[in-house]
Structure 1
Amino acid sequence: MKKLILVVLGVCLILVDVPLAAGKQNPDTYSDLFEEIVNIVERHFYNPDQIAKDFPAIKADYRIQLKNVSSQKGFSSLVNSMLGQLHASHTYYLTPDDYEYYQLGALFSKIPEISKLFDEKEVLYPSVGILTQDIGNRVYIVSVLAGSIAEKAGLLKGDEILSVNGAPYLPIASLRSKVGKNVVFKIRRKEMDEPFTISMRPVLVNPKQEMLEAQKSSVRIIEQNGKHIGYVHIYSYAGYEYHQELLNALTWGQLKEADALIIDLRYGLGGAAPSYLNIFNTNIPVLKMHHRDGTITVFDSQWRKQAVYLVNEYSRSGKELLAYGARRYPQVKVIGERTAGHVLGGRLFPLSNGDALFLAVQSALVDGVNLEGIGVSPDIEVPFDVRYCVGQDAQLEKALEHLTKYPRLLMN
């Protein structure tokens, strides 16, 4: 059973109309909060027929189980188990101990009801720049954000986190009280190797800005068999600024002269718009400006060479739209694993105790096709077990192999 620690957000409709109780008043009992959540689900879930047919029995069953809940962790687990019975993406209960709580909060902090969750201050969370995944009873690093504290400290994709300051790793709680202080991560890099420790100092960061800076730092040229392959990891597409940064890199920056391109859509947040595929539209003309001194300035906003989208089961929502639409462009291939199939429209509801409910409120079709629960199959399937991979990446290697087989002349 795999659990992604970091939320992957897609195309979301966030229209909050549920009033937030003043001062984040806590309900008297977990029962009160349970009924508050149930009421929101019944009023707003995208499929009223499913709610009418299935939800009465579901909520009754979990209302009985609620009697045995005595902690916030137990309540969160119970509610998310109940919501899981709806089999819908973008549907889960969030607390301040969840990464998603801050990432969604930062994304929609301009909405007054969401801003109140954070006392109308900038949304910040403690971070060293890693994305982790629970596999079985172990925690593995699945991505190290480019330019992050973790990257500089030497952490690698595939590392197992055994403990943090001697205690089990918890995404927020392990770092919350340690901002600016040394935190000792106990790491196992290979399955049979002895553990070692790495010390880092967490910082408070805005999740949106963290993702944007990581994207900028990820841009590089990989030399492979005489070719110069451009690479960029778009950790979040939830905002046009991320696509604009890609356009800048392609039009004016380091990726402009690359022979081919890899756009990594694995992990992180979704949110991409279908129009972002327009970068592969070769029908848009090239503009050449001839200056008096004889120099020529070329402005070409399109990518006309071979390209790859890297995807996996945690490429969700808006990123899935790009993977689906890529088949219209002969120069683009999708490599990796089937995407998540999480394409419903979500809405964020603040709760009276300061927690939040993310709920699917709209269905979505892509060219008339329902991708929810199905996802997008890659053109080239590459299974990849991240555990103890020592920073190696089979999917990236396959993308490089694919792109280097094209003669340079065919890519210009």
Structure 2
Amino acid sequence: MSPKKLRSTRFWKTTAAGLLSMTLLIPAASPVWAAEASSTVTADQLKEVYDLLEKNHVSAPSSSKLAETGIKAMVGSLQDPYTQYFSPEELRSFENSVENQYVGIGVRVGEEPDAVYVAEVFDGSPAKEAGIQVGDKFIEVEGVSVAGKKVNDVTEKILGEEGTVVTIRVLRGEETKELKVKRQKIQLPTVVRKLFDPGIGYIQIASFSSDSDEKLAQELNVLKGQGIKSLVVDLRDNPGGLLDSALNMVKLFVKEGVLIHTSDRNNVDDPVSFKDGTTQPFPVYFLVNEYSASASEVLTGALQDYGVVKAIGTKTYGKGSVQTLFPLKSGGALKVTIEEYLTPKLRKVNKVGLEPDRKVEGDLAQLVTALRMAGSESFELTYDRKALALNGVSIVEPFDVIRQDGKVFVPARSIAALAGAEVTWNDATSSLEIASEQGKAAYGADASDYLNQNGTGFVTLDSIASAFANVKWEDNGSKLTVSVNKP
């Protein structure tokens, strides 16, 4: 297996312990370890200490534990969170994370103050086959209550070994249902295509896996065949992946140039160049947020510099370094930071991030803003038992509805974006204001039409409809529909 350039921003599954042979604990040269311990420490001394501890310490330490501890100490001395040692088991888990694979039941979950619920059920998954539906709230897993538990606690109980069965009890409306679901290897889609009226293509890229560049090209061709007039590419929450995928993706939008400038340990710039690319005949918009990292930032930064895209959302993560994966004879691997990179116009990314061209807070507000910039003038949002659709297209965005005292409250940023309005705080009046050329609504902290739930501001649809004539809504207690027409 040859070294691969990749990213390492947030890996959640590298938890298994592993073994490493003693010969790898004692490399031919260990300058970093020596600098941390003593200028006179040598590889022979390290071996001597290893032998003495293995043969004499009262705890009778195993050679594998000593070896792994030594390797992790060397890696830790670098104080680089992206340089990591992987045991064989951890390496398999790491590679699965890059390829967007895991063993589970095939759902995406969401969290609210008192429950964890199903936000999405993947097609062809064991969850789909077992009858799990969007909006189901988890009550018990394997007979143990998970009511009020955090999302990580619930998912940890649901995940398990491939081929095993997990019993889940869910609340669906007023009914409880017990379902048995077989855990299987799940391949999450890395590239998802959707089409919004009027002729707006949407492509979500979840990670830069080994084939996500090919899938992006395929899905883009399908959308072009459907006659799209603009394109929205969603890189939010994308932690990155393989640099080669980003290199192939940039060629879908720019004919030739530099993807990134790099700086190695000797401060040598070895630009990553490309040619034989193409361009697109329509405007392109990227969605990014604070979890868009590494390869996501490589692609976004390059296309911003070439003036090909407008980025919408919040400042990106700021992971501007490149790692290479070095396979070890033991079956594990060492992932080593070898370079820092800059954008084509030499903008720094590492620990800084990229600023969007249009700053927008809030997930649904970001999507709506991107669609409006891409050509949408009217919107219809439907919300039915956690299932959310925008202009008839199913979407997965954080959104909640509070029905209280005969009023219907929705997130302020979301409804403001739908209405084409901006949300600001007025210090002089200590009030939240939602305003556009079409109208204005203001909410003091004690206003009856305003709620603050866990840091999120909610406003009543009645107050919004009164202030903005182009906003209409109806609610039957289960399904909510909000329509916003062109002013």
TM-score interval (norm. to shorter)? 0.5 to 0.7
Aligned counterpart in structure 1 of residue 183 of structure 2, from 202, 224, 248: 202
Which residue is equivalent to 1:295? none
* 1:104 aligned partner, one-letter code: E
Match of residue 277 from structure 1: 250
More strand by percentage: 2
8 Å CA contact retained: 1:282, 1:303: no
Deviations 1:151-178 (A, max 9, x none): 843347xx99787433774867853335
Contact residue 305 and residue 331 of structure 1 kept, 8 A: no
Distance of 1:187 and 1:142 partners within structure 2: 11
Q: How far off is 1:221 after superposition?
A: 0.8
Residue 273 of structure 1 aligns with an amino acid whose one-letter code is A
Shift of 1:11: 4.4
- How far the C-alpha of 1:320 sits from its partner, in A, is 0.7
2:228 aligned with 1:258, yes or no?
yes
> Normalising by structure 1, what TM-score?
0.55
The one of 378, 382, 401 equivalent to 2:356 is 378
Assess, with a 3 A threshold, how the Cα gap between structure 1 residues 247 and 366 changes in structure 2: closer, same or farther: same
1:325 aligned onto 2:306: no
Q: Give the CA deviation at 1:150.
A: 8.0
Gaps of 5+ in 2: 9-16, 39-57, 62-67, 147-151, 257-276, 378-487
Q: Do the aligned residues in 2 keep the contact of 1:93 with 1:358 (CA within 8 Å)?
A: yes
Partner AA of 1:233 in structure 2: Q
Q: Decide which structure has greater helix share.
A: 1
Query: In the alignment, is the contact (CA less than 8 A) between 1:163 and 1:187 conserved in 2?
Result: no
Contact 2:119 2:134 in 1 (8 A): no
CA contact (8 A) 1:316 1:341 kept: yes
In structure 2, the residue matched to 1:184 is 168
- 1:154 paired residue number: 133
Equivalences for residues 42-61 of structure 1 within 5 A: 55-56=36-37
Q: Which residue number in structure 2 is paired with residue 231 of structure 1?
A: 202
Counterpart CA distance in 2 for 1:90 and 1:396 is 31
Residue 316 of structure 1 is matched in structure 2 by: 293
Question: In structure 2, which of residues 203, 208, 213 is the aligned counterpart of residue 243 of structure 1?
Answer: 213
Q: What residue is the counterpart of 2:193 in the other structure?
A: 219
Residue 178 to residue 215, structure 1, CA distance change in 2 (3 Å): closer
TM-score (normalised: structure 2): 0.47
Root-mean-square deviation (CA, aligned residues, Å) is 5.6
Instruction: Report the CA distance between 1:235 and its aligned residue.
Output: 1.8
Deviation at 1:384, TM superposition (A): 3.4
Preserved contact between residue 261 and residue 308 of structure 1 (Cα < 8 Å)? yes
1-structure distance, mates of 2:140, 2:77: 32
Q: Which residue of 2 aligns with 1:90?
A: 82
Displacement of 1:334 in angstroms is 1.0
Kindly indicate whether the alpha-carbon contact (under 8 Å) linking 1:164 and 1:185 is maintained by their aligned counterparts in 2. Answer: yes
Q: Specify every segment of 5 or more residues in structure 1 that has no aligned partner in the other structure, as ranges.
A: 1-9, 15-23, 58-66, 71-75, 109-122, 284-299, 386-392, 407-412
**Alignment match, 1:291:** none
Aligned residue in 1 for 2:449: none
Contact 1:128 1:202 in 2 (8 A): yes
Please tell me whether the aligned partners of residues 203 and 232 of structure 2 are also in contact (alpha carbons under 8 angstroms).
yes
CA distance in 1, matches of 2:240, 2:322: 14
Taking CA–CA contacts closer than 8 Å with sequence separation of 6 or more, which of the two structures ends up with the larger relative contact order? Answer: 1
Identity across the alignment (%): 21
Counterpart of 1:306? 283
